[in-house]
Amino acid sequence: MRRTLYGPDHEAFRESAREFVNRNLLPVADKLIEQRFIDREIWLEAGRNGFLGLEVPEAYGGSEAGDYRFNAVLAEELSRASAAVSSSFGIHADVVAPYLVQLTTEEQKQRWLPRFCTGELLTAIGMTEPSGGSDLASLKTTAVKDGDDWIINGSKTFITNGYNADLVIVAARTSPEKKSKGITLFAVETGMEGFERGRKLDKVGQHESDTAELFFENVRVPSTNIIGEIDRGFIHMMEMLPQERVGAAVSNIAHAAPILEETIQYAKDRKAFGQPIGSLQWNKFLLADLVTRVEVTQAYVDNCVAAHADGELTAVDAAKAKWWTAQVQNEVLDHCVQLHGGYGFMTEYRAARAWMDARVTKIWAGSNEIMKELIGRDLGL
C-alpha cells in the first residue's frame, strides 16, 4: 500500500540519504565488518551532508529539521545498508542528540554541538552495566562529589560507539539512598584520566559497529559536564527512551523489508523439483504471510512516527512498536534464511548477515519482555 507518512521534502531527503549510503557505505561494507568500526571519514562525510544534526539548532551547526520524520527517513536508508550502520548512526544522531540539545546549558551547547554535527565529536550513551541489563534503576556506577568535581567509579558494557566515542553520556548513582531518584548523567570525554575502554566486543552480528566495555576508575569529571539536573538522570532517561524505541522500530522493519524483497526474487530464480521454489505452495503461502506481516507492521510504525513527530507518542505505544517490530524482524529473517537453504547459512549472503544482526533487537533498548511488562502495567495488571 502507498505510505502516507512522508511528503516531497522527506522523499527528496531520502534521495540524499540513499546516495550517501550508496557512495560511502555499501562499497566498504566488507571492510567495516572486518575492522569492526565505521571510519571517522564516513562520519565526517555524514556531517558534511547534514545527517548528524537533524535535531540540533542552526545556531550550533545543525539543520534543526523540526520534524522527526526526517530522522525516520535516515534510519530507513541506513538500515537498508545494515542494521549495525543504522544503530551506530542512530545512537549518535537520534539517541544522544536530544540529551545534548534539551538538557544542556548554553556553554555546553557551544562546547559540544558544533563538533557533534560535523562528526568530529562522536558520541555514545553509557546506561547498561554488566549486572544490570534492562534494569537501569539498579545501576552500580557511582559519582561522588569532590569540591567542584565528581569522581566516577564503575563500568558499562554493550556500549555502541563506545570504542571510538569522544564523549559518552554516563549514568551514575549520586544519591544511593534515593535509589532510582538518585541518578545523574555526566559527559565523560576521551582523555579524562581513569577512563578506559575494554576490547571491542566479539558479537554474534552487527560487526560494523564498535561495541565496547567502558571502565571508570576515579575519573574526575567537572560539574560543568553534568547533563541535566542532579539526581534526575533516571527521569531524563525515561523521558528520552520513547524516541530511542520508536527509532529502533523504524530500523527493525526497514532492515527486514529489503531482505524479504531479495528472498522473494531468490524464490523466483532458484529451481527445485523442476520449478521455482517460490511456486511450491508452502513457500508461496509463507511469502504471502511474511509480506503481509511486514506491511501491517509498517503501517503501525508509520503511525508511531507520525505521533512522535506531533509530540503525542506515549511510552507504552513506543514499547509496543519496539517489541513487535523486533519479533517480526526476527521471524521474517529466520524464514528468509530457511528459504535460501544452505546458502542462507553463508555470510556472503545478506540474508545470513541480516539474520545474525537482528537477534539483538529483541534484547536492546529494553528487552521485549520488559516492553511487555510496561504494556501490561498500562493495562492495570
Report the catalytic residues: 244
| 227 bridge partner residues | 185
Give Cα 344 to chain centroid, integer Å. 25
**Nearest alpha carbon to residue 211 among 146, 164, 260:** 164
HSE of 35, CA atoms in CB hemisphere, 13 A = 11
Provide the β-strand partners of residue 160. Answer: 211
- Give me 21's grid cell: 549510503
Contact predicate 309/70, CB 8 Å: no
> How many CB atoms lie under 10 A from the CB of residue 76?
23
Q: Three cell numbers at 147?
A: 569540591
Alpha carbon separation from 8 to 13, 70, 116, 137 (Å, rounded): 9, 11, 28, 43
Most distant CA atoms of the chain, gap in Å? 79
Q: How would DSSP label each residue in 41-76?
A: HHHHHHHHTT-S-TTS-GGGT------HHHHHHHHH
Instruction: Give the strand pairing for 167-173 and 275-276.
Output: unpaired
How far, in Å, CA of 344 to CA of 263, rounded? Answer: 10
CB atoms within 10 A of CB 288: 10
- How many C-beta atoms surround the C-beta of residue 152 within 10 A? 25
- The upper half-sphere exposure of residue 45, i.e. CA atoms within 13 Å in the direction of its Cβ, equals 14
Distance CA 352, CA 340 (A): 9
**DSSP-derived secondary structure letter, 139:** -
Q: How far apart are CA 298 and CA 317, in angstroms?
A: 14
